[in-house]
Amino acid sequence: MGDTAKIGIGGKDVELPVLKGTAGPDVVDIRKLYAEADVFTYDPGFTSTASCESKITFIDGDKGVLLHRGYPIDQLAEKSSFLEVCYLLLHGELPTAAEYTEFEHNITYHTMLHEQFDRFFMGFRRDAHPMAIMVGAVGALSAFYHDSTNIDDPEHRMIATHRMIAKMPTIAARAFKYSRGQPFVYPRNDLSYAENFLRMCFSVPAEDWKPNPVLTRAMDRIFILHADHEQNASTSTVRLAGSSGANPFACIAAGIACLWGPSHGGANEEALNMLKEIGTVDRIPEYVQGVKDRRYRLMGFGHRVYKNYDPRAKVMQTTCHEVLAEVGNADDPLLKVAMELEKIALNDPYFIERKLYPNVDFYSGITLRALGFPPEMFTVLFALARTVGWIAQWKEMIEDPSQKIGRPRQLYTGAPQRDYVSVDKRG
Ligand code: ACO
């Protein structure tokens, strides 16, 4: 018999099992609490609630650790590739050479979209935000590929998985091209995942496009850094949508909608805007004072889970330097502002006391801008990369025999029961 927790309520003691994971805090299993004590637990924002059991990603926010299937994110970013990380997240182990070749083939040969799909894009206003296009287009995949929407069939689940990882760059690049008024570029199977995506975004019929290994590697690494992050808001949205049996394309569209919010996927755009607003290093003290006076927040700083340096931010900082040097912008004034701001904040008691460290978004805006992306594409790139995390978490949930529809309860504070009053008697 393992540990138990006791709650004394209404003169009665209820004993609850305590479950242990391989790492991280134990959890008190409250599933029987309502039946035994007629009470719910209350935790809006899920700050103390484990919503599921998972074997995919582990975060230790106090130590600044992020592991995918046990492997540290910095090792994966340095030594692996995005597609290998996709395989790892989906299957639990790094692939053998043969498994990798087969996986890469499966992804590469699903990158095209049904031709009729292009007409779907044409329905959007030409100035539509690319995230609006993403939500609509990814949801529409279920209408085009309903031969892979039977969630009870493992083969269907795997095909839908391959399709989504493969088609997301094509959809994202089309959303970008559409907003620019440029022709769509078809995928090419001889290019790597990141090369293919950059080419679909930046090549135009009027001139040749050549892959740049430094920029391609940076793009791939940015995808790795955003691939999964355990039960964050968008992932929990995907799980909740999927718990009703909804098809995976619809679930991922729900995840994209959630990611769109500025507290989640939109923060890198805000961080870039902040650096632009500061503009020069000499204005940093004044800006930091404004943060301390609580007039605004330091964007790209702080995290709900990390109370230490976000391990992804370190990799992003290195990538940022590499990209800016490659595009001949090593002296970018915004990079200077970012580095100085980081130095000041990390040594200032206000930020130290509150455990505020740079998060992944602090350097990603400058990097993505140097790669050629406008701010409205930043969240789209996040969605593209996170698709594998969403789908791996969705698959894990569907394959769990104890899976149930997600149905939170509530603390009701509205009117008690009362009788209907006809309109002539109201007032
Ligand atoms: N700048 C200044 N002060 C901050 C910041 C910040 N970025 N973040 C938190 N604080 C302060 C708060 O004012 C508060 O101080 P107080 O105790 O004196 O009132 C304390 O730190 C705790 O703040 P909370 O809001 O309770 O922290 P929470 O964990 O809920 O917030 C969040 C996390 C939303 C990410 C927050 O740090 C923030 O707004 N950061 C800026 C936005 C950002 O960069 N988001 C990206 C997140 S990473 C991602 O989504 C990939």
Atom of ligand 1 nearest to the CA of 294: 13
If one residue of 223, 309, 356, 363 were mutated to test the ligand 1 pocket, choosing by the most ligand atoms within 8 A of its CB, it would be 356
> What amino acid occupies position 353?
E
User: Residue 147 above 90 pLDDT?
Assistant: no
Q: What's the pLDDT at 305?
A: 87
Average pLDDT in the chain: 94
User: Nearest residue CA, atom 44 of ligand 1?
Assistant: 300
Residue range 18-60, pLDDT digits in tens: 999 999 999 999 999 999 999 999 999 999 999 999 999 999 9
If one residue of 297, 342, 362 were mutated to test the ligand 1 pocket, choosing by the most ligand atoms within 8 A of its CB, it would be 297
- Cα 65 to middle of ligand 1, angstroms: 19
298 lines ligand 1 (CB under 6 A): yes
Q: What is the DSSP-derived secondary structure letter of residue 261?
A: S
Residue range 380-406, pLDDT digits in tens: 999 999 999 999 999 999 999 989 999
Q: Can you tell me the mean pLDDT for 369-378?
A: 93
- Binned at pLDDT 50, 70 and 90, residue 206 comes out as very high
Q: Can you tell me the mean pLDDT for 310-327?
A: 92
Asked if 323 and 260 count as a contact pair (C-beta separation under 8 A), the reply is: no
Rounded Cα distance between 406 and 243, Å, is 6
User: Residue 287 above 90 pLDDT?
Assistant: yes
How far are the Cα atoms of 285, 298, 340, 422 from residue 290, in angstroms, in the given order? 9, 9, 16, 55
User: Residue 110 above 70 pLDDT?
Assistant: yes
Q: Can you tell me the mean pLDDT for 288-308?
A: 91
- pTM score, two decimals? 0.93
User: Nearest residue CA, atom 14 of ligand 1?
Assistant: 354
Q: Can you tell me the mean pLDDT for 4-12?
A: 92
Atom of ligand 1 nearest to the CA of 301: 7
- Cα 235 to middle of ligand 1, angstroms: 20
- Cα 98 to middle of ligand 1, angstroms: 45
Report the catalytic residues.
Answer: 303, 361
Closest Cα partner for 53 from 33, 32, 27, 85? 27
Atom of ligand 1 nearest to the CA of 271: 44
Q: Which two tokens stand for residue 285?
A: 């003290």
129 lines ligand 1 (CB under 6 A): no
Residue range 27-37, pLDDT digits in tens: 999 999 999 99
354 lines ligand 1 (CB under 6 A): yes
Q: What's the pLDDT at 1?
A: 59
291 lines ligand 1 (CB under 6 A): yes
Asked if 351 and 309 count as a contact pair (C-beta separation under 8 A), the reply is: no
Atom of ligand 1 nearest to the CA of 354: 21
If one residue of 73, 263, 278, 294 were mutated to test the ligand 1 pocket, choosing by the most ligand atoms within 8 A of its CB, it would be 263
Q: Can you tell me the mean pLDDT for 164-171?
A: 97
Q: What's the pLDDT at 9?
A: 92
- Binned at pLDDT 50, 70 and 90, residue 335 comes out as confident
Asked if 96 and 79 count as a contact pair (C-beta separation under 8 A), the reply is: no
Where do runs of H (alpha helix) occur along 187-247? 193-202, 213-225, 233-243
Q: Can you tell me the mean pLDDT for 160-189?
A: 96
